[in-house]
Amino acid sequence: MMPPKPPSRPKKVSLWQYSKLFRQDILSAQPARLYRAWMAEFRTPFFRSYMLNQPDLVKTVLKDRPDDFPKSSRVSEGLRPLLGNSVFLTNGEAWKRQRRIIDPAFEGGRIRNIFPAMWQASEAAVARLEPQVGTEVEIEAITSHATADVIFRTLFSIPIENKVAARVFSRFRDYQRSQPLLNIAAFIPLPRWMPRFFKRDTKETAAEIRALIRQLTTDRMAEIEAGTAPDDLATKMMTTIDPQTGERFSTEEMVDQVAVFFLAGHETSASALAWTLYLMALYPDWQDKVAEEAAALENAEFSVISKLELSRNIFREALRLYPPVPMLVREATCPEQFRDRDIQKGSQLVVSPWHLHRHERLWENPDGFDPMRWQTENGKKCQREAYIPFSTGARVCPGAGFAMVEGPLILSMLLRHFRFERIEGRDPVPVAHLTVRSDKGIWLKAVRRT
């Protein structure tokens, strides 16, 4: 089986073409030269955008000086109706306070404690797929359901079948298709004074999701006060005191954080798992090796994760080829000079995992699927310098460790029971909604493994 063809890469894209393509498919809008360039400039009448692919520049912006390059407010405008003032959107002291409260919930020991909930969600995913054996299955729907179940079980100790949880999942599915992750203002020249317009149903859906989450957090607050709350992630975050201010999250602040955890912990993991299963269908030999390795899944003990080395490498490779968040946008707060270019204050700096992970001057066989690359010198070097599926530096996703347990576990559990086969003529085309998804879904045939 030949490697999947890389996405369409036009030689040149005008600003007009870029604006036309942006909302419907930001990936096909990327010209081929960006996969070789160390830096690229996008000029508009109102501001400049610069894409950074050179590893030391990426390190400067994301790791060495994150306070000088905060998240761009132009991007946050597109997600604020759902995420409010969550940790995904804030900057400065507000963001630091939020991370001080959130990070303890995702320490290594906590992941060990919630592992049984991940295991139960994985088994439930197998049970839900069982009736569809022998049919063509839309894999994104399967992985979305599974990862949403993980989030609700680990956050609130309730399965996806819970009435409120099921409603959140249903409405989020509608929201996912209506709102792109990168607001058009990240690249297209809209001045700050110009209002941003949202579809009416997008705002209404966001409001309904937040109301449902508010119900869950209010109920949990009452359980905490009564001393009957389960020891899960929500309880941990709602009872953690900021060591500097002595404050806890209010109920409304928790609504913001739960909304972003549902986005980051459900939506991104669902995207990564769906693309991983598609790659497994393209490469059945690798799929069979994962199934053999998955024989280690005898019980819900955290130690089994150490035995899923191949599954982890395959999931890591899928994250390289199809990073759920394709672009990170930062803003220069002071004049800079990168590669002899003068960067004005207010310029947008784009760090793109989509380009960085496939960069022709960094990776060997950049468009190929090679789970063993992580054992090579090139793979190890690139993993340190050019691999950022969870961002990097101070703003690295607090749930990165969570995802690297959840993803390989669900993948192994599914491949232990089923084999997934490619459907001729239905290969998916990656587009960006809230995350990198397929234009028409990812359709595979599910077969029971004997």
Provide the pLDDT confidence category of residue 440 given band limits of 50, 70 and 90: confident
The H or E element containing residue 375 is: none
The per-residue pLDDT for range 165-216, each reduced to its tens digit, is: 999 988 887 776 665 544 444 555 455 544 444 556 778 888 899 999 999 9
Look at residue 430 in the predicted model and tell me its pLDDT.
Answer: 85
The per-residue pLDDT for range 411-434, each reduced to its tens digit, is: 999 999 999 999 999 998 888 776
Task: Give the residue, 3 or 401, on which the prediction is more confident.
Answer: 401
The per-residue pLDDT for range 247-259, each reduced to its tens digit, is: 999 989 999 999 8
Residue 30 has pLDDT above 80, yes or no: no
Q: What span, in angstroms and rounded, lies between the C-alpha atoms of 191 and 185?
A: 8
The per-residue pLDDT for range 75-100, each reduced to its tens digit, is: 666 678 888 889 988 999 999 999 99
Q: What span, in angstroms and rounded, lies between the C-alpha atoms of 84 and 438?
A: 27
The per-residue pLDDT for range 312-356, each reduced to its tens digit, is: 999 999 999 999 998 898 999 999 999 999 999 999 899 999 999
Q: What angle do CA 396, 398, 400 make, to 5 degrees?
A: 80
Average pLDDT score over the chain: 88
Of the candidates 399, 381, 376, 379, the residue with the CA atom closest to the CA atom of residue 389: 399
Q: What is the pTM of this model?
A: 0.91
- Please name the residues in contact with 57: beta carbons below 8 A apart, sequence gap of 6 or more: 38, 39, 338, 339
**Length of the chain in residues, anyone?**
450
* Structural domains for the chain: 15-448 (1.10.630.10)
The per-residue pLDDT for range 347-405, each reduced to its tens digit, is: 989 999 999 999 999 999 999 999 999 999 999 999 999 999 999 999 999 999 999 99
Q: What span, in angstroms and rounded, lies between the C-alpha atoms of 38 and 26?
A: 20
